[in-house]
Amino acid sequence: MSVSQRARNIVPSATLAISATARRMRAQGIDVIGFGSGEPDFDTPDHIKEAAIQAIREGFTKYTATGGIDELKDAVVIKLKRDNGLEYTRDQVLISCGGKHSLFNVFQALLEPGDEVIIPAPYWVSFPEQVKVCDAKPVFVHTNERDGFRLHRAQVERHVTPRTKILVLNSPCNPTGAALTPAELKGLGDLATEWGFWLLSDETYEALVYDGYQHVSVASLSEEVKARTILVNSLSKAYAMTGWRVGYTAGAKDVIQAMDSLQSQETSNPTSIAQRAAVVALTGPQEPTYRMREEFDRRRRCIVDRLTGMPGISCLSPQGAFYVFPNVSGTFGKHHLGTTIRTSTEFAAYLLDAARIAVVPGVEFGSDDHIRISYATSMANIEKGMDRMAAAIAQLQ
């Protein structure tokens, strides 16, 4: 007996693995600073927690409709109108067990074996793996660091074929933090309508943008583009609700209906209690999110400043999300105590060993010249971690 080829093909999430390693080391009493996690270090705001407690007290603890309660679908409709200027109806919305689950259902609902999905690189680790589970083919479009990791229509166009089914957009991007402008989005939206492929717009980090950048959803550019867009978002990052597992999809009714059927045989509904909390998160005061964003911004500035001063390292200032993606290739070929660094994996291993800091090697995101550092950790950890990283780099010869 052996596991399926499909299961064997899957690369387990590197980001979750790094967090698990850091946790294990800490449990052994090793003072390791974790920069691997894609998880806000803030607590879920109190008014959201209260809504969940009230739901439990009221006995709202049973199955709900598979695709989420009407109240939450309506809250999503309100949010999409308020923040994105988008009009959707309740039957165009599906609630799932986190954004990752929403994305999984989109791919399952749309892809035939052999279909091609264009994924801009660097990419979030789950996109290609979820595509592979559908026996479809990830096609990578490499963006350029010198160009700020921007994504242009011409770059994508070169990779479009009659088998292209979906273009994945993730603005702001995990891991680079690059956020696309309306003009860039328009070029990509036009390309999708001309060729007739879907745009899967993952807007998980929309609330976390800096330097006056305004998030624009590609679906808001025109009715034609909206008809081709499946929008996915999550409450995890914007409301510090990673453990609650609530994400949602908005798009064409037939796609939503297909995803609902899939979900009815996978997970059934997302947790009833978390759904009640999500209603309050989306429709209640947004100030806690603004405060988190301010604090992330402070950390972003600090970490970019520190990294920029390190020999062999260069770092762009990200427009969104809570990651920096420094280029560490200037350290390749250097060594310490007989160990030579040649790849992002070896660089990350060196940092864990010599500096006791956990980062994710860029190769996991499709770029071996980089590492990803999450600044979803306290300012004290950032200061201490950057001191340790600078000291470790100073030892390289």
Per CB under 6 A, residues contacting ligand PLP are 38, 98-100, 124, 170, 174, 202, 204, 234, 236, 242, 247
Which CB, 45 or 99, lies closer to ligand PLP?
Answer: 99
Choose among 215, 211, 360, 357: nearest CA to 298.
Answer: 211
Alpha helices in 240-286 (DSSP H): 253-266, 272-283
The residue (of 231 and 310) whose beta carbon lies closer to ligand PLP is 231
Minimum separation from the CB atom of position 34 to ligand PLP (A)? 15
Nearer to ligand PLP, 38 or 189 (CB): 38
Choice between 324 and 355, CB closer to ligand PLP: 324
Q: For ligand PLP, which is the closer residue by CB, 232 or 315?
A: 232
**Cα(42)–Cα(73) distance, integer angstroms:** 26
Distance CA 357, CA 32 (A): 5
**CB of 36 or CB of 341, closer to ligand PLP:** 36
* DSSP strand pairing (371-374 vs 360-361): antiparallel
Half-sphere exposure in the Cβ direction for 377 (13 Å, CA): 24
366 dihedral zone (left: phi>0; alpha: psi -120 to 50; beta): left
Two tokens at 101? 């689950």
Q: What is the nearest approach in angstroms of ligand PLP to the Cβ of residue 350?
A: 25
CB 179 within 8 A of CB 319: yes
Find the shortest distance in angstroms from Cβ 39 to ligand PLP.
8
| Cβ atoms 301, 381 nearer than 8 A | no
Query: Taking a C-beta distance cutoff of 8 angstroms, is the pair 109, 255 a contact?
Result: yes
- Collapse the DSSP code of 224 into the 3-class scheme (helix H, G, I; strand E, B; otherwise coil) and give the result: helix
Instruction: Please give the structure tokens belonging to residue 90.
Output: 């309740």
C-beta closer to ligand PLP: residue 40 or 288: 40
Q: Which is nearer to ligand PLP, 320 or 393 (CB)?
A: 320
Q: Which DSSP state fits 209?
A: B
The CB-of-250 to ligand PLP minimum distance in angstroms stands at 15
Q: What stretch of H or E contains 228?
A: helix 223-228
CB of 196 to ligand PLP, least distance (A): 25
Shortest distance, position 224 Cβ to ligand PLP, whole Å:
25
CB of 30 to ligand PLP, least distance (A): 25
Pair of tokens at residue 337: 């105590």
Compute the least distance from the CB of residue 38 to ligand PLP, in Å.
Answer: 4
How far is 62 from 69, CA to CA, in rounded Å? 12
Cβ proximity to ligand PLP: between 88 and 365 the closer is 365
Q: Which is nearer to ligand PLP, 66 or 234 (CB)?
A: 234
Q: What is the CA radius of gyration of the chain?
A: 21
**Sequence-separated (6 or more) residues with CB below 8 Å from residue 198:** 110, 165, 166, 167, 192, 228, 229, 230
Strand boundaries in 16-145, DSSP class E: 33-34, 93-96, 116-121, 137-142
Q: CB 270 → ligand PLP: shortest distance, Å?
A: 11
At its nearest, how many Å lie between ligand PLP and the CB of residue 100?
3
- 91 — phi, psi (to 5°)? -80, 5
